[in-house]
A and B are shown apart, each in its own frame.
Chain A
Amino acid sequence: MIEQLPALIIAIPLLGAFVAPFFKKHYKAVAIWGIIITGVTLVVSILLANEVLTRGIMVYVFGAERPTLVLPSGYTVPIRIMFEIDALGAFMAISATLMSFIGALYSYSHVAHESGLEKYYSLLLLLEVGILGMVLTGDLFNLFVFMEIAGISGAALVGFRSYRGEANEAGI
């Protein structure tokens, strides 16, 4: 359980983001769902920081037991999806999850009168996934991928109130 935390901290908001569109027209339910998911992610990031502070830097590999696997030709660069979490990464993860949690709490009343809230919460959780992936990743490739996730969902969130021209102008 504890050693799977780096995968969980990405998987939980991703699950939340893809489940959120099912709450169509149930705006109270989707707001509570967003608060629950961001709260669970906050707890996971605190557990992760505790683990990093007690046992040192964590290296997590998706799809393999050990991070030392190399190419068959002997080229010694690990070729899998790596997450490397040190204390700074854990701190940034805590800040990102805390701000997402506060944002979800504030959104409960702030966007209560808008329409399309299920898409709003989906984008909010996707933005959290992007930020967490950016601060926890171990290679440039995934930094690029998660940066694009955060960038696209962030731009879409800026233009959320699309009935106002200013939001669209800011979003582009």
Chain B
Amino acid sequence: MNSVLVNLPFIIVVILLAIGFYTIGFKRNLIKIIIGIEIVEGAVNMFIVALGYIKGGYAPIYTQAPPEAVENMVLPTPQALTLTSIVIGVAVTALMLAFAVNIYKSYGTLDVNKVRRLRG
């Protein structure tokens, strides 16, 4: 039971990845594919954060830290990377949605099987 609780974030990551890849692979609406990409991105972010925290560690902030925390801080890089990744993910989503809007304007559909004017 304890191992299930410890590994719960990773189990959720696996479930989210499965849902996201299913959505990308088997849905035909572009908006749904974008939602699938977002789900995969959330899973990856959660994976990095779950790996980056060790049980018993302290937040890596030196200001007013208790004395026993100085030797027991977690590395701040995964959290900073995830924060950056979330912000960049919003930009990527906005770009993809803008492309979807323009595709709907010029093709009249969002079905990826009908959006097939590119050759080569």
Q: Which residues of A does B touch, CB under 8 Å?
A: 72-73, 141, 144-145, 148, 151-152, 155-156, 159, 162-166, 168-172
Query: Most chain-A Cβ atoms within 10 A of its Cβ — which of B30, B80, B103, B118?
Result: B103
Contact present for B103 and A172 (CB under 8 Å): yes
User: Is residue B62 within 8 Å, beta carbon to beta carbon, of the partner chain?
Assistant: yes
Contacts of B85 in A (CB 8 A): 144
Contacts of B117 in A (CB 8 A): 165-166, 169
Whether A165 contacts B107 in the complex (CB less than 8 A), given A159-B102, A172-B30, comes out as: yes
CA distance A56 to B96 in the complex (A): 43
CA distance A163 to B107 in the complex (A): 11
- A21: min CB distance to chain B, Å: 17
9 pairs, A vs B, C-beta closer than 8 Å: A151-B92, A159-B99, A159-B102, A165-B103, A165-B106, A168-B99, A168-B102, A169-B107, A169-B118
Contact present for A141 and B106 (CB under 8 Å): no
- Closest A residue, CB atoms, query B115: A169
Whether A73 contacts B71 in the complex (CB less than 8 A), given A145-B84, A172-B30, comes out as: yes
Tell me whether chain B's interface is mostly helix, strand or loop, or mixed.
helix
- B32: min CB distance to chain A, Å: 13
Contacts of B30 in A (CB 8 A): 172
Contacts of A168 in B (CB 8 A): 99, 102-103, 106
CA distance A152 to B91 in the complex (A): 8
Contacts of B46 in A (CB 8 A): none
Contact present for B80 and A152 (CB under 8 Å): no
Q: For chain B, residues 32 to 71, give those with C-beta under 8 angstroms from any C-beta of chain A.
A: 62, 70-71
Contacts of B118 in A (CB 8 A): 166, 169-170
Interface size class of B (residues with CB under 8 A): 20 to 34
CA distance A171 to B99 in the complex (A): 7
User: Is residue B11 within 8 Å, beta carbon to beta carbon, of the partner chain?
Assistant: no
Q: Which residues of B does A touch, CB under 8 Å?
A: 30, 62, 70-71, 73, 77, 80-81, 84-85, 88, 91-92, 95-96, 99-100, 102-103, 106-107, 115, 117-118
CA distance A26 to B118 in the complex (A): 33
Ranked nearest first, the 3 interchain pairs of A and B with the lowest CB-CB distance are A165-B106, A172-B99, A168-B102
Contact present for A169 and B95 (CB under 8 Å): no
Contacts of A148 in B (CB 8 A): 88, 91-92
Contacts of B73 in A (CB 8 A): 73
Contact present for A152 and B95 (CB under 8 Å): yes
Contact present for B71 and A156 (CB under 8 Å): no
- A106: min CB distance to chain B, Å: 22
- Closest B residue, CB atoms, query A151: B92
Q: Which of B80, B92, B96, B106 contacts A164 (CB 8 A)?
A: B106
Whether A152 contacts B99 in the complex (CB less than 8 A), given A145-B84, A164-B106, A170-B118, comes out as: no
